[in-house]
């Protein structure tokens, strides 16, 4: 069984970036629905028994993949955000890599926001590191994660499904992403950069 992971902050703590109604629908309805759906598959598919969330993602397709990957993506998204504007900074190691690979932190922001805005339909925009620790900004469609097929490990993600911002921002995805950028938990991003493997989100597993 999987359970809805506890948010690392109060549901109201990201306001006015994300207000309580936006958070309630996204976390308690959308994220929870993916958990409930995956648990239904667990009830009927013995091959899923005992597997971690990441193992399920890497070995499944169709509805099982979609729900498992969306649990992973949302959990990772919540942990990448910070309640206080700009209160954390990238580690020295991460900042050097950002300057080397993008030119500056502002240039990375511009690239991340641009990639998120141009993602067609539902998906996710990511800052990732490849096996040589080179930083890349990528987007994925629907439930896709970057790390299948030996792809890069995620450091940070923003949800660009309309359900992620429509309550607070209506159609203004650009404004949502620009505001997202001032609420990043850089400690989380820096830890993911220092790690050599994809973040394990076992917290969602009971
Ligand atoms: Mn979402």
Residue span of the structural domain in which 54 resides = 20-82
CATH number at residue 178: 3.55.40.20
With a CB cutoff of 8 Å and minimum separation 6, the contacts of 109 are: 181
For ligand 1, the distance from its centroid to the CA atom of residue 92, given in whole angstroms, is 31
The pTM assigned to this predicted structure is 0.96
For ligand 1, the distance from its centroid to the CA atom of residue 100, given in whole angstroms, is 31
For ligand 1, the distance from its centroid to the CA atom of residue 123, given in whole angstroms, is 9
Q: What is the pLDDT of residues 2-34, one digit of tens each?
A: 999 999 999 999 999 999 999 999 999 999 999
Residues 158 and 172 in one domain: yes
For ligand 1, the distance from its centroid to the CA atom of residue 8, given in whole angstroms, is 17
Cβ atoms of 60 and 68 closer than 8 Å? yes
Cβ atoms of 204 and 71 closer than 8 Å? yes
For ligand 1, the distance from its centroid to the CA atom of residue 89, given in whole angstroms, is 25
The number of distinct structural domains making up the chain is: 2
The pair of three-digit structure tokens given for residue 8, joined into one six-digit string: 């690392």
CATH number at residue 65: 1.10.287.990
Identify the domain boundary among 63, 82, 101.
Answer: 82
Identify the domain boundary among 42, 65, 82.
Answer: 82
pLDDT band at 206 (very low <50, low <70, confident <90, very high): very low
């Amino acid at each position: 069984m999987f359970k809805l992971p506890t948010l690392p902050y109060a549901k109201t703590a990201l306001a006015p970036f994300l207000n309580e109604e936006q958070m309630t629908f996204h976390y308690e309805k959308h994220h929870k629905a993916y958990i409930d759906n995956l648990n239904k598959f667990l009830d009927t598919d013995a091959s899923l028994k005992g597997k971690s969330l990441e193992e399920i993602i890497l070995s499944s397709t169709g509805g099982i993949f979609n729900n498992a990957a969306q649990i992973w993506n949302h959990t990772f998204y919540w942990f990448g955000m910070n309640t206080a504007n700009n209160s954390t900074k990238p580690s020295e190691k991460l900042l050097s890599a950002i300057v080397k690979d993008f030119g500056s932190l502002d240039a990375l922001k511009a690239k991340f926001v641009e990639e998120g805005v141009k993602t067609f339909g539902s998906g996710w925009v990511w800052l990732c590191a490849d096996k040589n620790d080179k930083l890349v900004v990528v987007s994925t469609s629907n439930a896709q994660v970057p790390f299948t097929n030996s792809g890069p490990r995620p450091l940070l993600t923003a949800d660009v499904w309309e359900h992620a911002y429509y309550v607070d921002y209506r159609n203004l995805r650009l404004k949502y992403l620009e505001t997202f950028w001032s609420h990043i938990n850089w400690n989380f991003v820096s830890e993911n950069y220092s790690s050599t493997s994809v973040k394990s989100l076992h917290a969602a597993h009971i």
